[in-house]
Amino acid sequence: MSGFSAEWLALRAPADTAARDAGLLRAAADLAPARVMDLGCGTGAMLATLQPLLPRPAAWVLVDGDVGLLDQAAQRAAALGVVATPQACDLLATPLPAAAADLVTATALFDLVSADWLDRFLDALSARRLPLYAALSYDGGMAWRPPHPLDGAVTAAFNRHQRGPKGFGGPALGPEAPAALVAGLEARGYRVTVADSPWQVGADQPAFTAALLDGIAAAVAEQGSMPTIADWLAARRAATHHTEVGHRDLLAVPL
């Protein structure tokens, strides 16, 4: 399983919150689920975001393979006065846990999964006719202002890294995740609505900017195909800039 630190999840949380498409978030809340299952819940960002918009408190099942993150999610739910059942589970083996639910949610999960896993997950989801709200799947687009001559090569190498295995039984979908989700859901008789939800990362988020740059450069360096990555990183660290990272949100309802 890929490791995600609580520190990284906390750094990205403000950008995630600002990026989520408000219309799809509202439409997910309007489904008024009594029970929500959040897959790959991390420290509970989805619960903290969606629960306040629900017409009444839902019972949450929080699913993650990292028990440390799951513990933090459970504490967060308790602090918010929300009934939540933490479930430690490797989603590779169990794409959709059997817990009762009226809505399945996930944030920043589907770009990690393989095409094969997605098929197994969507088969299980559609067999139960459950709606899905999937936020913040990376779509492969990155843009910086002002531009740097190496930006295109960095994005291409980073996207190759995103397609490497992330613990879901094969190469990750990476930037193809949003399109694969739409195609798989529509083929199973879902009405799917999609919206762009890009991160906008500026000078007011220095810690997140630094972590994002380091993460991109490390992923590119792992590819071994771009010796100039250190130059790009040094240039980006030295000067103020704005980064846009493309994501998509999706709400799918069985017809």
Ligand X SMILES: C[S@@+](CC[C@H](N)C(=O)[O-])C[C@H]1O[C@@H](n2cnc3c(N)ncnc32)[C@H](O)[C@@H]1O
Q: Rule CB under 6 A: choose which of 51, 72, 87, 107 binds ligand X.
A: 107
SS in 3 state form for the chain?
CCCCCHHHHHHHHHHHHHHCCHHHHHHHHHCCCCEEEEECCCCCHHHHHHHHHCCCCCEEEEEECCHHHHHHHHHHHHHCCCCEEEEECCCCCCCCCCCCCCEEEEECCHHHCEHHHHHHHHHHHHHCCCCEEEEEEEEEEEEEECCCCCHHHHHHHHHHHHCCECCCCCEECHHHHHHHHHHHHHHCCEEEEEEECCEEECCCCHHHHHHHHHHHHHHHHHHCCCCCHHHHHHHHHHCCCEEEEEEEEEEEEEC
Q: Rule CB under 6 A: choose which of 109, 122, 212, 251 binds ligand X.
A: 109
Of residues 90 and 186, the one with the C-beta less far from ligand X: 90
With CB atoms as reference, the residue minimizing the distance to ligand X is 42
24-32, 40-48, 154-162, 208-216 -> range binding ligand X (CB under 6 A): 40-48
Residue 167 binds ligand X, judged by CB under 6 A: yes
CB of 255 to ligand X, least distance (A): 27
Q: Rule CB under 6 A: choose which of 90, 123, 214, 231 binds ligand X.
A: 90
19-27, 107-115, 144-152, 241-249 -> range binding ligand X (CB under 6 A): 107-115
Of residues 106 and 150, the one with the C-beta less far from ligand X: 106
Q: Rule CB under 6 A: choose which of 37, 41, 185, 250 binds ligand X.
A: 41
Residues that bind ligand X (CB under 6 A): 1-2, 4, 9, 40-42, 45-46, 64-66, 69, 89-92, 107-109, 112, 167
